[in-house]
Amino acid sequence: MTIMQRVFWLIATLGNIIALSLYVNQSSVASTLLLAFTLGYTAIGSYDLYISPHTLNKLYPVVAYLRYFLESYRVEIQQYFIANDTEEKPFNREQRSLVYQRAKNVRDTIAFGTQRDLLEENYLSLWHSLSPKHLSDDVKRITIGGPDCIQPYDAAYLNISAMSFGSLSANAIEALNLGAKHAGCYHNTGEGGASPYHLKHGGDIVWQIGSGLFGCRTDDGRFNPVTFEKMAAKPQIKMIEIKLSQGAKPGHGGVLPKAKITHEIAMIRHIPMDKDCVSPAVNPECTTPIALLQFVKTLRELSGGKPVGFKLCIGNPAEFLAICKAMLETNILPDFITIDGAEGGTGAAPVEFSNRLGMVCLEGVYFVHNALVGVGLRDKIKLIASGKTASSFDLLAKVAMGADVVNAARTMMLAMGCIQSRHCNTNQCPTGIATQDPARSHAIDVESKSERVKNFQQNTLKSFYELVGSMGLDNPNQLTPNMLKRRSPYGLLISSGSLVAPLAHNALLTGHTQDSAWTTWWQQCSAVQFYCEDTYVLTPAEFKPPHEC
């Protein structure tokens, strides 16, 4: 027997006898409570010993529940009492505090110096200028819309990334959209479609068309041009985004657990309520690079010439180059491309997919930027970066690596009051943000939370413009990857980049590439299919021939 099994038998026998004797002889409150305790302990312990399927309960009757109780609060205990300000994931206390402070319009400065190890390997930093500049208002918006776009859109540098109604509650969606309206930025609907809550307050909308085609699908899950055209005609919808993949789970369709599917969500998405809503891994209208671009053209025409683009997490580089080849062959260009980083994700995702697939945002942006330069199309297509943006430095780093504008999702949730409890996939979000439980979600005050979203967006942008100016620049478009410094394993600062060399204008078309990786990927890819065999062996720069470094 284990010690706790012996304790159980001691309480079940001798303990009950003593408690019953005291109760009969004294009949006091104390004796009543003691008897209730021993009887309750005996009942629970008997269940654990003879009925419970759990080994721990059998070996440690009754007290095993103490472990389960403490384990249920492990994340909170770690977050509040153990972790320091800079070690938590995905957002540490320093990052969350910064978001909360800027959302509340309170002091966001720190005292007594940095807590970061500035000599840490891979630590990112910037070099400032002795001639700081002030940025004028006319460089604080980016126009999105290529040669075939009739209704271009002027976007802010920081916007609200894709979060669906269903993944988030109605009040949370309303607060985000009203916040977008006040802040002058756009709000991406996520793949769940443009719900009434996205449209209620009049904030600018980017309508995302996911692989489930929610909001514009037929009964059999194919594209419905009639319902699309009707929704896309709304003046509030400024851009259309086709979702190919997302950073949290690239190569896997979106997942909305059935616990979060209400009758209203089922009606909006045109899905059943009795099972998880799992979108296809592949958009049925975009099975090849050429088909993707034909779909871009179709949506642009049906929407009356609004900007249309697509979103993806970069995986095999050759497969993105296949899209570039298709652009050249069809002469159909997206107005924008959203690069989702592997570090992103607000909802449910398989652990292996979330942890192990895809390029991180900075690498993906750097690659896509150079690929478009290499085929001579960079000036016609805007790049949107999405992935873990908590500070103005995070925003600046993405722009420096090649992005035109940036989307943020989780930090917008933090601005509304998210506490990073990581219960987004359980329908038990303690703050009412990522849940469909009406008792929880109704606690969100739309007006006050929208103000916090606006404050976070505007205060982050204010800091971003100051940071750009501190580098001696008067326009964010002057940022380049070499300005972002990374601490090397040897303790020295190097300019940020990638294992692949940057490309010159039209380098892929003329064959003047300095890196054999680009040449191999370009030769491998085809406009008629996405898949390319991953055969190129990436090697560190110190092992490459001199002409490739």
CA separation for the pair 220, 212 (Å, rounded)? 10
Spans of all domains in the chain: 3-75, 141-487, 495-543
pLDDT at 523: 93
What pLDDT, on a 0 to 100 scale, did the predictor assign at position 521?
A: 93
Q: What kind and span of H or E run contains 413?
A: helix 410-416
Please say whether the beta carbons of 259 and 399 come within 8 A. no
Extract the residue ranges of the chain whose pLDDT is less than 70: 84-85, 248, 251, 254, 345-348, 499, 540-549
End-to-end CA distance of the chain: give it in Å, rounded.
67
Structure tokens given for 525:
């890819």
CA angle 429, 434, 440 (to 5 degrees): 55
- Cβ count within 10 A of residue 34: 18
Decide yes or no: CATH 3.30.9.10 for domain 141-487: no
Q: Can you tell me which residue has the tokens 């400032």?
A: 128
Distance CA 299, CA 335 (A): 12
pLDDT at residue 546 in the model: 52
pTM of the model: 0.87
Which run of H or of E encompasses 240? strand 237-243
The two structure tokens encoding residue 404: 């035109």
The pLDDT score that the predictor gives to residue 90 is: 84
Phi, psi of 168 (to 5 degrees): -110, 160
Q: Alpha-carbon distance 514 to 199, whole Å?
A: 49
Strand partners, 255: 278
pLDDT at position 418, please?
87
> Residue 221: left (phi > 0), alpha (psi -120 to 50), or beta?
left
pLDDT at 352: 77
* 425-89-397 Cα angle (round to 5): 110
Cis peptide, bond prior to residue 90, ω within 30 of zero: yes
Question: What is the Cα gyration radius of the chain?
Answer: 28
| Cα-to-chain-centroid distance, residue 475 | 27
What is the Cα–Cα distance from 146 to 407, expressed in whole angstroms?
20
pLDDT value, residue 172: 94
